[in-house]
Amino acid sequence: MEHINTRGSEWRKWDLHIHTPASINQNYGGENAWEKFISSLENLPENVKVLGITDYYFIDGYEKIMDYKLNQGRLNNILKIFPILEFRIDTFGSTNENTLSKINLHILFNIDESKINTEIDLIKKEFIEVIPISGNDKYSTKMLTKNNFIEICGNLQKGFANLIPPTKKVFETLNSTTWNDRIFTFLGYKEWSNLDKNKQLKDTKEWLYDKVDAFLTSNHINYESNKRWLNEFGDKPLIHSGDIHDFNFLDTLDKKTNNYCCMTWIKADHTFEGLKQIVNEPYERVFVGDMPPLLKNMEGRGGKYIDRISVKPIQSETSWFDFEIKLNPSLVAIIGNKGSGKSALADIIGLLGNSQRTDFSFLNNNKFLKLKNGHKFSAEIQWHNELTDSKTLDSKPNHENVPKVHLLSQNIIEKICENVDDTIFENEIHKVIFSHLSKEEREKCNSLAELITAKTNSIQKQIRQKFEEIKAINEQIIFYEKSLFTENINKLNNLKDDKKIEIIDHLKLKPAQVKKPIEQEQSPEMKKILDELDTVNIKGEKLKKQIDEMINEQTNINKKLTAIKNINNTIDILKEHIQIELSKLGEYFQLLGLRNSDIVKFTTKKGDLDKLKNDLTLRKSEISKDLDESLAGSVKNKINILKVQYTKLKAKLNENEQNYQNYLSLKTDWKNKFRDLYGSKSEPTENSYNFYRIELKKLDNYRLNIPELKKRRISKSQEIHQLKVFLKNELAKLFQPVALFLETNTIVPKKDFKMEFSTEVENRDFKKNFLEFIDRGAVGSFYGINESDTVLTELISNTDFNQADSTVKFLEEVCNRLYFDHRNQKKEMRLQSQLRSERKESDVLNYIYSMNYLTARYKLKWDGKELSELSPGERGQMLMIFYLIIDKSDIPIIIDQPEDNLDNQSVYRVLMPCIKKARDTRQVIIVTHNPNLAIACDAEQIVVSNINKQDNNKVSYNTGSIESKIINKHSLDILEGTREAFTKRGAKYL
C-alpha cells in the first residue's frame, strides 16, 4: 500500500550510490562490518531520507539491509531504500590516453515492500539469472551468478574483473513487460563523457544517452560545468553521490572526520513515482548543492510560510468543516468540482492571514455567513516558526494589523479586471511597483501615490507660481491689444479733439476782471475781515495740497505693502522647498553623523521688513483717518470747517468787496477747470487733453511691448514644460526598477510577454476643454463642429509634448489661429468675437499657456494597448504577471482561479511560467478548476476538495503530490472525469 505524504513533494537528500559490505568490490570489512554499516546509515545527516543501496550485479546487500529495517526496527531515519544493481557494460571509456575504464550502468528497481521477499526473488530469477555472465559465446550458457564467476575465474573478484555481461541483453531484459515500467537507470557520467575522446565512439555514446533516465557523478566540485556539457545532449538529470565503498567516506560515526558527502536534493515523494518526476522536470526537481534556494529562503523566515490550516467545529453537532491540512511551502494547487469547497479554503486562509482584501467569495453574507454559522467554527493557522493565529469564521480582518497573506479571491479579480474604471486596476499595479522601491527610495511614504505627491508638491507649487505670472502677462497683453483696436484709437483721438474744443470754449468764458477795491477806503473793520479771509484761503490751499500729498502717499504705501507681501510669499515658498529637499537627505546626514544645519542653513532676517510693514500699515491707517471728513480733527473735516468760516466772513463784506471776492472765486474756479481740461504735461488728470494725448502716445510703446510680452509668456510656458518634464523623469525613476525587471525578463517568452512601460508628458483632453471656450458658430479658424475637431486633432497629433520645441510650436499654432482666420487667407480676427458669451479672452489664453492639460504620467501597455483598452482577459494576464513575478512581497499569495478569462495559450505561455517562478520566492496557493494548470505548473502539493451533500454539506480535503497514485486517482475522478486532462505530462501518472 502506498504511503501518502500529505504535504506533497518536498526537498530531501537522496543518496543513490552506497555500496554495502556484501558488494563484490568494497572495503568495509565484509560480513563483520554490518552492524557498523547500519549504525553509520542511522547517523547520516538528518536531511538524507532516501538511499539507493548499490551492489555489483547482485541484490544480497539490499536484502540484508531491508531485514534490518523491516524486521529489526532499524534505519527509522530513512524513509525509503531502493535496490540498485550496478552493471559494467561492454563499452570502454578512456580516462586518459593510456588507460581504459569500464562504464557503469545503474539499475534502480521499484519494489513493493509489503511483499519484499517475492519482489527480491523476482529480481533474482527474472532479471539477474537470465543475463549471461559474459558476451563471449563460450559462456553463453553461464548465467550471472557468483558461483559461475568463481567457477570460470577461480574467485569472485577475478570473475568480476574479467567478465562483463552483454549490455545488449541487459537492455533487452529491462525492456521486457516485467521491468519496463519498474526500473530507473543511470550511467556513470565520468566514464560515459570520455567515450568519444577520439571521436571513435560518438554514436555509441549517443545511443547510451538515449537508453538511460539520468546520470551519476561523484564530483560535485565540477558539477555545473559537467551539467552544461551534458545538456548539449538533452535535459537528462545529473545527480551527485559519493560512490561509497568504505568507512573512510561513510564516516558518520567518527566525530573527528567529515568525509561523507551527498549533494543531491530531489523534490518529490520518497517513492519510485516521485523519482520518475526528475525526468519530466530535471531543473525544477533536482538541486545539487548545499541547500535548495527554497529551504535557504525559509531559514529565519518561518513567519512567511504557512505550515498548516485547521478548522474545527465548536459545537459537536455542527457539520461543514472539520479538517487539518499540512501545506507545502512552495506551490499548492486546490482543485475540485464547482461548489466543492475550493474557494472556502482560500477565504479561510485569507481570513486567518489577515489579508487586507476582504471581498471573500465564500465567507460573505450572501453565501456561508448568510447561514449565521460562522461563529460555530474555530479556524487556526500555524506558521513554520510555530506561531499560530486563530479566529472564528465570522470574524472580520483587522486592517490595523499587518497582512500576513495576500488573497486574490474570485470577487477581487473580477472587480479589478472587469471594472471600467481604471483606478482600481492602477492601484493594484501601484502596490506592486511600490514593492520594488528601496526603503530610501520610498522616503518614509506608505504608498506610491503618497510618494508621487511628496516628490511633486514643490514642483507643482513652482508651476502654480509661474502660472500666476502667465496670467499677469496675459492681462497685460489683452489690455495692450484692446488699446490698439482701431475703434479705441479713434475714440482717443475724438476725445482729444473734443477736449481741445472744450478748452477753446472755456477760454471764451474767462471771467471779466474786477478791480480790487482801494485799501485806503476800507474801514478797519473791513480790513480785519479781509485779512481773516486771506488766512482762511491760505489754510484751505495748504490743506488741499496736504490731501493731494496724502492720496499720493496712500498709493505708494499700497504698492510697498504689495511688494512686502510678494517678498514674504516668495521667501515662504523658497523656505518650504528647501525644507522638503533637506528632509530627503535626512537619512544620509544621519549616516554621516552630521546635522543638516551643520551643512546648510536657511535663515531670514525679516525684522526690518516686518517693522517697515507695521510702520506703513500704521501710516496708511492715519491717512485714512485724515481723509475721513466725519472724524473730528481730520484734514477733510478741517477743510469743511474752513468752508463754513469763509462763507460767514464773506457775508460781512460790502458790495465792492463782495464783487471782488466773487471775481477771485470765479477766477480760481476758471483756472481750476482749465487745469482739469488741459491737464499737466507730466501727470495729467483723467479725461484731460494731455491725458488723451499721452494715452495716444503710449500706444506706440504698446506696439513695441506686445512682442516682448509674448516672448516672456512663451518663456514662462517653457519653464512650466521643463518642470513637467522633470516630473516625468521623477516618475521614470520610480518605475525604473520595474521597467528594468521587465526588460530583462526571461520567465515568459518575449513573443508572449507584451508588457511595456513608458513615462510621458501627455495631453489630457486639450481639444475637449479648449472647445468649451470657443463659439464654433462664429467666424474664425475654429468655425464648424467637424472642422474644428479636425484642425485640433491634426495639431495635437503633430505635436510631441515631451519636446519643448514641439510644444512651443503647438502653443503658437493654436494662438495664431485665434488671431488669424486660417480658413480665409489668415484674415486678422478679434479673439473675443470667437469665444462663447460667458468666456473672456484671459480664460482661453490662460488655458493655452498654462499647459494644465499636460500631465506627466507613466504608461503601462499590453500588446500596444493602454489599460483602458484592455479586455478583462488581458487585464488578468497583466495582473497575474505583476503579482507573481514583479511583486517583491514575500508573504504567501492565494489566487482563486487565476486562469479565469484567459485562453489556453495564455495559461501555458504566460500564467504557467509566472506561477512556477513565483514559488521560488514565496508560498503560492492557487485555486483552479483547470487540471492542466496544476499539472503544467508541476504543483508540489495537490489539495482535492470534496463536499458531501448527503452528510450536511461536509467539506473534506485530500492532499498529496502529483506523483501520488492516490491523489492521481482522486484528481482523475473530479477533474472533468477524464485522463485527457493529464496528457501534457503523461509520464507523471498512472
Spatial separation of the C-alpha atoms in residues 544 and 550, rounded to whole Å: 10
- The confidence score (pLDDT) of residue 441 equals 81
What is the structure's pLDDT at 519? Answer: 63
Among 929, 880, 888, residue whose Cα is nearest residue 909: 880
Q: Which residues of 911-942 are buried (b: 16+ CB within 10 A; e: fewer)?
A: bbbbbbbbbebbbbbbbbbbbbbbbbbbbbbb
Coil, helix or strand at residue 838 = coil
Which H, E and C letters describe 267-282, residue by residue?
EECCCHHHHHHHHHCH
- Do residues 675 and 450 touch, judged by C-beta distance below 8 A? no
For 829, which DSSP code?
-
Average pLDDT, the chain: 87
Q: Which residues, including other chains, have CB under 8 Å from residue 741's CB and lie 6 or more apart?
A: 436, 886
H or E element that contains 876: helix 872-881
Which whole number is the average pLDDT over 571-586?
Answer: 78
Mean pLDDT in residue range 373-390: 93
| Alpha carbon distance 925, 919 (integer Å) | 9
Q: What is the pLDDT of residue 979?
A: 47
CATH code assigned to 302-420+891-988: 3.40.50.300
The whole-number pLDDT of residue 302 equals: 94
Over residues 687-720, the pLDDT tens digits come to 889 989 988 998 999 999 999 999 999 999 999 9
For the cut 90, the answer to whether the pLDDT of residue 543 exceeds it is no
Is-contact 461 577, C-beta < 8 A?
Answer: yes
CA-CA distances (angstroms) from residue 358 to 408, 411, 880, 947? 9, 9, 19, 24
The Cα-based distances of 601 to 523, 582, 593, 594 in angstroms read 81, 10, 17, 13
Record the cell numbers describing residue 123, joined without a space: 529480481
Predicted local confidence at residue 127, as pLDDT: 97
Whole-model pTM: value is 0.74
Kindly report, residue by residue over 403-417, the tens digit of the pLDDT.
999 998 888 888 777
pLDDT at residue 518 in the model: 66
Q: What is the mean pLDDT of residues 155-174?
A: 93
In the predicted model, is pLDDT for residue 896 greater than 90?
A: no
What's the gap between Cα 833 and its chain centre? Answer: 49
621, with CB counted inside 10 A (0-12, 13-18, 19+), is: exposed
Rounded to whole angstroms, how far apart are CA atoms 289 and 261? 10
Could you tell me which of 513, 520, 518 has the C-alpha nearest to residue 656?
518
Higher pLDDT, 458 or 759: 759
Q: In sequence order, what E strands does 191-285 have? A: 214-217, 238-240, 264-268
Give whole-number Cα distances, 350 to 128, 409, 463, 503, in Å. 56, 9, 45, 94
CB 14 within 8 A of CB 266: yes
| pLDDT confidence band for 974 (50 / 70 / 90) | low
* Residue 4, pLDDT score: 67
User: What are the tens digits of pLDDT across the range 782-822?
Assistant: 999 999 999 999 999 999 999 999 999 999 999 999 999 99
Residue with cell 512651443: 808
Residue 520 has pLDDT above 60, yes or no: no
Q: How large is the angle between the packed helices 448-483 and 689-743, nearest 10 degrees?
A: 150
- Angle (CA) 473 474 475, round 5°: 90
Strands 941-948 and 331-335: parallel
Q: Transcribe 442-458 into DSSP letters.
A: HTT-SSHHHHHHHHHHH
pLDDT at 978: 40
Look up the CATH number of domain 15-109+183-290. 3.20.20
Domain boundaries, the chain: 15-109+183-290, 302-420+891-988, 489-700
Find all residues with CB under 8 Å of 759, minimum gap 6, and list them.
Answer: 728, 729, 731, 732, 735, 856, 857, 858, 859
Which whole number is the average pLDDT over 486-498? 92
Instruction: Read off the C-alpha cell for 786.
Output: 467637424
Q: Are 297 and 316 in contact (CB under 8 A)?
A: no
Judged on CB neighbours under 10 Å (0-12, 13-18, 19+), 603 is exposed
Cell 495748504 found at: 542
pLDDT at residue 965 tops 60: yes
Residues 6+ away with beta carbon under 8 Å from 650: 533, 658, 661
315-334 burial code (b ≥16 CB/10 A, e <16): eeeeebbeeebbbbbbbbbb
Lowest mean pLDDT, pick from 507-511, 534-538, 652-656: 652-656
- Among the listed residues 393, 390, 370, the one whose alpha carbon sits nearest the alpha carbon of residue 381: 390
Percentage of the chain beyond pLDDT 90 is 51
- Across 24-28, 675-679, 869-873, the highest mean pLDDT is recorded for 24-28
Does 425 have pLDDT greater than 60?
Answer: yes
Amino acid (one-letter) located at 649: L
Per-residue 3-state assignment (H helix, E strand, C coil) for 810-821:
HHHHHHHHHHEE
Backbone φ and ψ of 984, nearest 5°: -60, -40
184 strand-pairing partners: 108
Grid cell in block for residue 320: 461543514
Given this model, what pLDDT does residue 989 score?
A: 41
pLDDT of 94 > 80? The answer is no
For residue 180, give the 3-state DSSP assignment. Answer: coil
**Helices (H), strands (E): how many in the chain?**
34, 24
Q: How confident is the model at residue 521 (pLDDT cuts 50, 70, 90)?
A: low
**Selection from 188, 245, 184 nearest residue 216 by Cα:** 188
Mean pLDDT of all residues in 957-967: 89
Question: Can you tell me whether residue 712 is helix, strand or coil?
Answer: helix
Residue 941 is predicted with a pLDDT of 95
pLDDT tens per residue across span 426-475 = 888 888 888 888 888 887 888 888 888 887 888 888 999 999 999 999 99
Rounded CA gap, 126 and 124, in Å? 6
Between 190 and 531, residue with greater pLDDT: 190
- Cα–Cα distance measured from residue 839 to residue 171, given in angstroms and rounded to the nearest whole number: 94
Question: For the segment 820-864, what is each residue's pLDDT rounded down to a tens digit?
Answer: 999 988 899 999 999 999 999 999 999 999 999 999 988 888 888
